Chains A and B, each alone.
Chain A
Amino acid sequence: MLSKGVIMTQVRILVGTRKGAFILTSDGKREKWEVNGPLFTGWEIYHLKGSPVDPNRIYASQTSSWFGQVIQRSNDGGKTWEAPGGDIKPGPEAMQRPASNRFVYDTSESTGRPMTTHQFYDGKPHPWEFKRVWHLEPSLTDPDTVYAGVEDAAIFKSTDGATSWHELAGLRGHGTGPQWQPGAGGMCLHTIILDPSDPRRIYIAISAAGAFRTDDGGVTWKPINRGLHSQYIPNPTAEVGHCVHHVAMNPTRPGVLFMQKHWDVMRSDNAGEQWHEISGNLPTDFGFVIDVHAHEPETVYVVPIKSDGEHFVHDAKLRVYRSKTGGNEWEPLTKGLPQMNCYVNVLRDAMAVDKLDSCGVYFGTTGGQVYASADAGDSWNAIVHDLPAVLSVEVQTLP
């Protein structure tokens, strides 16, 4: 655990927005912030995340309706960036080079799965088509290994610093794939959680298929949606089809998971084998984001959103709700947050916690604000007010 009293401690927030990326830095007091950006101006930056073992290694997903997907990589904490593989010199092999933005579903007989279909919004079969990378999850042990969650839903892995990618095809092809369907934002694999106690165990979540787990490093997968209840599918307790918005885990208790579903806040105490509802006294249990305190594994944060048809905060008040009891009993956190005329949303990857003794909590809004709390949510300050709509927030705690 890092001490807030250490002068050199630094917090670095990586913010992805609709029109570029921003990097916000502060010392351990988290009072004064330096804002750098925009990076990749004009592009949608769905996600940036640093390697836990080499914080200067940061990966970014840069995407555009015009130009498709680009992966960017920094080796100096975000000061400079490169598209991995882009430095290959012209020559006879140049056309066979790896491409960091080449995400091709694996249909090979030896390692892949046949390219079947998933369901479109109208329930008709629809072929898998790569659209973008929603989430990048660097390995807990190797800075050159990183996972990518993509739309249409699949998980890819790179072991060469994002220079080339291969699909972990057992997920898309494990059997229920033809039943998956997109949520309003597309059929995206948006959550990847690596189990620090077992390198073979990975959790992922897909809108609107549900949560899945592998226990063999990504070769085989199984749905982990028992206990979820979703009225918008024909069988509300079906094995797949649930619109899971986000899942969070405290690394010290990797078997305990917290989920913000389309509606319902859920909890599992057995690695997803069974879920139970912990919405309790929340004013609404619709929402996107959920996270867990860095040192108190029973302290959970959500931002309730009015409804699936009105994606803004309830009662026009921006309130983070905190439970210190692992759910069911929630308290609104409002100090420093707008409590009238507020109509922003907080998207699924737009909250993060730092590792300082007094846990910092950060989130970004679709209105372009990034809020920080240096006291675990008791009070908040806006670091920036007027960025483009925030898609993702990650934080690095640096020595």
Chain B
Amino acid sequence: MIRVVLPQHLRTLARVGGEVTLEVASPVTQRTVLDALEVRYPMLAGTIRDHVTQERRPFLRFFACEEDLSHEPPDAPLPEAVSSGKEPFLVIGAIAGGI
């Protein structure tokens, strides 16, 4: 099982509490994890990746195993600790003050 941690606003939108767990067939990549996430929680489509380009939204980052994976290719395998469920895949809202 893949563990995914969402920002608070997306947890509220998806009506989930803590971590989300997903069944993801190999290979476990950013794309396959986010595809599985959007299938389970359709209301999240477009909130993490652009609907058309499927690119990560600019104010979101992807972390795992204390590394920033935001700029890794979406089809690159995620660390073994993520694919084995030892570590979560983190979707993080960038720290931007806003108004």
Give A residues with C-beta under 8 Å from B.
Answer: 18, 41-43, 64-70, 83, 85-88, 90, 94-95, 97, 99, 101-102, 104
The bracket for how many chain B residues form the interface is: 20 to 34
> Does the CB pair A99–B39 fall under 8 Å?
no
Give the number of residue pairs across the A-B interface with Cβ within 8 Å: 65
> Does the CB pair A94–B42 fall under 8 Å?
yes
Q: Would you list 6 pairs from A and B whose C-beta atoms are within 8 A, ordered by A residue? A: A66-B59, A67-B13, A67-B60, A70-B43, A95-B39, A99-B45
B3-23 residues with Cβ-Cβ distance < 8 A to A are: 7-10, 12-13
Distance of B34 from chain A, by nearest CB (Å): 11
Q: Give Cα A18 to B99, complex, Å.
A: 8
> Does the CB pair A42–B9 fall under 8 Å?
yes
Tell me if A's interface is mostly helix, strand, loop or mixed: loop
A89: nearest chain-B partner, CB-CB = B42
B35-57 residues with Cβ-Cβ distance < 8 A to A are: 35, 38-43, 45-48, 50-52, 57
Q: Give Cα A267 to B41, complex, Å.
A: 48
List chain A residues, Cβ under 8 A from B94.
66
List chain A residues, Cβ under 8 A from B52.
104
> Beyond A65-B59, A83-B13, A104-B51, is A88–B96 a contact (Cβ under 8 Å)?
no
> Does the CB pair B9–A67 fall under 8 Å?
yes
Q: Give Cα A67 to B92, complex, Å.
A: 11
Which of A86, A94, A104 contacts B39 (CB under 8 A)?
A94
Which of A65, A85, A90 contacts B40 (CB under 8 A)?
A90
B77: interface (CB < 8 Å):
no
List chain A residues, Cβ under 8 A from B51.
99, 101-102, 104
> Does the CB pair A99–B9 fall under 8 Å?
no
Which of B35, B40, B47 contacts A68 (CB under 8 A)?
B47
B94: nearest chain-A partner, CB-CB = A66
> Does the CB pair B42–A67 fall under 8 Å?
no
B93: interface (CB < 8 Å):
yes
List chain B residues, Cβ under 8 A from A97.
42, 45
A102: nearest chain-B partner, CB-CB = B51
Q: Give Cα A77 to B50, complex, Å.
A: 31
Q: Give Cα A242 to B94, complex, Å.
A: 36
A388: nearest chain-B partner, CB-CB = B99
List chain A residues, Cβ under 8 A from B35.
95
A18: nearest chain-B partner, CB-CB = B99
Which of A18, A66, A83 contacts B57 (CB under 8 A)?
A66
> Beyond A65-B96, A67-B47, is A99–B42 a contact (Cβ under 8 Å)?
yes
Q: Give Cα A68 to B51, complex, Å.
A: 10
B73: interface (CB < 8 Å):
no
A87: nearest chain-B partner, CB-CB = B42
> Does the CB pair A99–B40 fall under 8 Å?
no
A94: nearest chain-B partner, CB-CB = B39
